[in-house]
A and B are shown apart, each in its own frame.
Chain A
Amino acid sequence: MENLILYSVVTVLLVFSMIRDRAKTKKALMKGLKAFEGILSQFLIVLMLVAIVLAVFDPATISRLLGAGSGFMGIMIAALVGAISLIPGFVAFPAAAELLRNGAGVTQIAAFVSSLMMVGIVTLPLEIRYFGKKAAIGRNTLAFAFSIVAALFVGWMVAR
């Protein structure tokens, strides 16, 4: 669904651009292609790294670490697992819901979801390439700390 919208919007814009100016459109496509090729090698590295990490952290391992009784330590582990993994939301949300049904704590799951979306350890090399070391590491550190705060808030709100 998300992709359908994305493709429709881009197609409409592309057709529009084509009608207005063919040469400019060609230039735009070449620029896009060049930018894509420029980053492709790093993307492929990251994807393989992520595949290995995900294979090591299987759902059984994750659920053992994130039990409701795991307390603050569990929250930290959840945030850490989220920071390392790179699972698309469409896979992560049902998985998180499954974990909740199997006795994982709301706060732990919130920490996992938040840091999963905001922190990216494995994609850090990519981020550094665009933002430099200081900004990339700074953003990830702040986002990690914030994930813990957000999780405590969500846990409190849901429990009320």
Chain B
Amino acid sequence: MTLRSLLKKYRVTLMMVVIFVAFLFLFPSKAARAEKSLFDQLRTMFLVMPPIFVLLGLLDVWVPREMLIRYMGKGSGLKGTSLGIVLGAVAAGPLYAAFPVAAVLMDKGASFMNVLVFIGAWSTLKIPMFLFEMQSLGARFAVARFLVDVPGIFLIAFILNKLLTAEDVEKIYSASHNAK
């Protein structure tokens, strides 16, 4: 990659760096918090993202398209949906880490409904998070939230799936192919 194309790609990022530094100088009372949270998040990102992307590469190379379609494609039924839930629930990392995984799943032929269920499960059904939530906010709180979240994930996926036309979904799938 040439320096020129690199600059072009990171133009907005550089602008954001300028804004961030300006914020630090303009609001010195908030600067320490902003810096701390940036470094905390950078640490999380560089800790969580590398294994996720290695996993993505392995998934891409080893899992044949036909196999993923069989397990998570249209007509995979309850099996595909359950797999979506389980994959999301055992995941680690913030929700934004789920998007590239979803892109690979779509590219491999997983049905849109199953991808939506996967995203929903990743966002709020993560098992390690659930255990921690139980510990800090109490069993009643965590269990009640878990109970209402399961139907909620299906409801959101169902409505969203109905809301989008076949053409919309087609576009998302071709974009996911290019994003890789």
B-contacting residues of A (Cβ < 8 Å)? 1-3, 5-7, 9-10, 13-14, 17, 24-25, 27-36, 38-39, 41-52, 54-56, 58, 86, 88-90, 93-94, 96-97, 100, 106, 109-110, 113-114, 117-118, 120, 123, 126-127, 129-132, 134-135, 138-139, 142-143, 146, 149-150, 153-154, 157-158
Contact = CB atoms under 8 A, between A and B. Distances in A.
Interface in B113-168: 116, 119-120, 123-124, 126, 128-129, 132-133, 135-138, 140-141, 144-145, 147-149, 152, 155-156, 159-160, 163-164, 168
A135 B160 contact: yes
Nearest to B133: A93
B19 interface: yes
B61 A48 contact: no
Nearest to B50: A36
Contact of A113 (B30, B31, B92, B145): B145
Nearest to A123: B96
B132 A47 contact: no
Contacts of A7: 51
Interface of B: 9-10, 12-13, 16-17, 19-20, 23, 27, 30-31, 33-35, 37-38, 41-42, 44-45, 47-58, 60-62, 92-96, 99-100, 102-103, 116, 119-120, 123-124, 126, 128-129, 132-133, 135-138, 140-141, 144-145, 147-149, 152, 155-156, 159-160, 163-164, 168, 171-172, 175-176, 179-180
Contact of B128 (A1, A13, A24, A154): A1
Contacts of B30: 55-56, 58
B139 to A, nearest CB: 10
23 contacts: A2-B93, A13-B55, A29-B57, A31-B56, A32-B53, A33-B57, A35-B57, A38-B179, A48-B19, A49-B16, A51-B34, A51-B37, A93-B133, A93-B137, A96-B137, A110-B141, A110-B145, A131-B102, A132-B172, A142-B160, A150-B145, A153-B147, A158-B140
